[in-house]
A and B are shown apart, each in its own frame.
Chain A
Amino acid sequence: MSPLTIAEAGRKLAAKTVSPVELTRECLDRIEALNPTLAAFITVTGERALADARAAEERMMKDQRRTPLDGIPIAHKDLFETAGILTSAHSRILQDNVPSSDATVVRRLADAGTVMLGKLATLEFALAGPSFDLPWPPARNPWNPDYFTSGSSSGTAAAVACGMALGGTATDTGGSIRGPAAMCGVSGIKPTFGRCSRSGVIPLAHTLDHIGPMAWTAQDCALLLQEMAGFDPSDRASADVPVPDFSGEIGKSLRGLKVGVVAHFHERDNPVSEETAVAVSQAIEILRDGGAVVSDVKLSSLAEYSSANRVIMNAEAAAYHEQTLRSRFRDFGERLRHRLLLASFMTSNDYIQAQRRRRELCDEFAQAMETVDVLITAASASEAPLIEDVPFWDGLEKPSFALPWNLTGYPAIAVCMGFGPKGLPLSVQIGGRPFGEATLFQVATLLETSTPWRQRRPVLCSS
């Protein structure tokens, strides 16, 4: 049976035609069957999941469901601290790390009634991979396990794509939500900087780190974000702004919505495959048919946004890991110890110049966003590469479509828009105004419901 979406499962739970325990057992069965191939989970918390599910079932039977997520099985990227449960960052450095408390977002989702299935694979400390010399193997692409998931929220994307979990948490510092979402054919949103608390999440780069959800559909992401978002004084970057109804715009007309196409990003700065170009064009046509007004937007080159983001990210990561790099150098995987060593050679001047360029790019981006409601470009250049073919310096190679939104803190969502010749997903990216996530869910849902792609799941799901 094809996995349910969160919205579908929620309706069945509300009608009492399915139970949280049944849903959870289905996920655990899929994990047992598929995780040996996909390595999406580092830790499976089966007993905890069933206990959570039984509690949710009791509430359901008493008509006391706490939220639309009550009884929904999810999992957390292994950067999110979980009380009493290993939180490894997919690294030998933290292979015995068992926190005493939950990250704020983990706690909020638990309070919402979700069922916790376990902890999900990432790139080591969310920075370097895929790595084959760590205590756990890298996650593999559920559409074809010979292929890469992209990173770093690789386990979340793989698990969601084949219904091992109905949704999950993720982080995005340089595209780590939208890249894996694109490669694995799921929906993933990087909300506005400050929208979700980062308290209790192992950092990568403190001025670029974002927390967000991944799920099969944009509508499911809206349901997850509803419970994840909100001010948290324990995160200095947390924004004290109202949390709207993120599903409130879904299904409404796009009439008059101003859509900017950053064509030079995907046509010139990082030319995409023919199939991806067609997918972007189809998405634009759907929005136009829906009543949106489409215009071209020009920004600085993708390379400039990427360079600023990568210099800042590597410098901040090197600062975070400095002591451990000196004391436990060989406990890092090969890719990460090379990356951190490289990053350590950057100077304070390099970091300052990157932050100054960031200021200019943020101003330019804000000015552009005064003229449009959303921007559209590709989420990735093409289908996923073979996992064995990922360059050693992946992340320092071609400019990334994701990085303008990390650098500026503006929200962006990846949406599956078809499949390429290898049978792997293609994806487009929609970016919005600060705290304009509801508009992104509106636009992304129109794209998903106007195309057949949400009806197709990886073959592994049904095997």
Chain B
Amino acid sequence: MAETTFEDFIVLVRRSGLPHDDVDLELLFDGYLKLQGMIASLRRPSDLTTGLAVGFQPEPVE
């Protein structure tokens, strides 16, 4: 995946619709890269074993 540039990031901020007056965008971009680094390290291969939010088990039959 191509690395986000500062210019891409400015577009992301503006399109988000979130307030960003009085925000230091360079500082925010620095944090964004740190967080994106963490996110990139968490990408998992597709499988059916780690995505379960609930784990219902059938009641044992007497």
Contact = CB atoms under 8 A, between A and B. Distances in A.
A350 B44 contact: no
Contacts of B41: 303-304, 307
A339 interface: yes
B25 to A, nearest CB: 10
A350 B42 CA distance: 8
A396 interface: yes
A325 interface: yes
Contacts, number: 85
A219 B18 CA distance: 48
B61 interface: no
Contacts of A303: 41
Interface residues of B, number: 27
B32 interface: yes
A353 B19 contact: no
Given A326-B18, A330-B22, A396-B34, A311 B52 contact: no
Interface in A397-452: 397
Interface residues of A, number: 34
Contact of A338 (B23, B43, B44): B23
Interface of B: 12-13, 16, 18-24, 27-28, 30-32, 34-35, 38-39, 41-44, 50-53
Q: 9 closest Cβ contacts across the A-B interface?
A: A307-B38, A329-B19, A356-B50, A396-B34, A359-B50, A357-B42, A350-B39, A353-B42, A393-B31
28 contacts: A303-B41, A304-B41, A306-B38, A307-B39, A307-B42, A311-B35, A311-B42, A314-B35, A325-B18, A325-B19, A330-B21, A338-B23, A338-B27, A341-B18, A342-B31, A353-B39, A353-B43, A354-B39, A355-B53, A356-B44, A357-B42, A357-B50, A359-B51, A360-B44, A392-B27, A393-B30, A393-B34, A396-B38
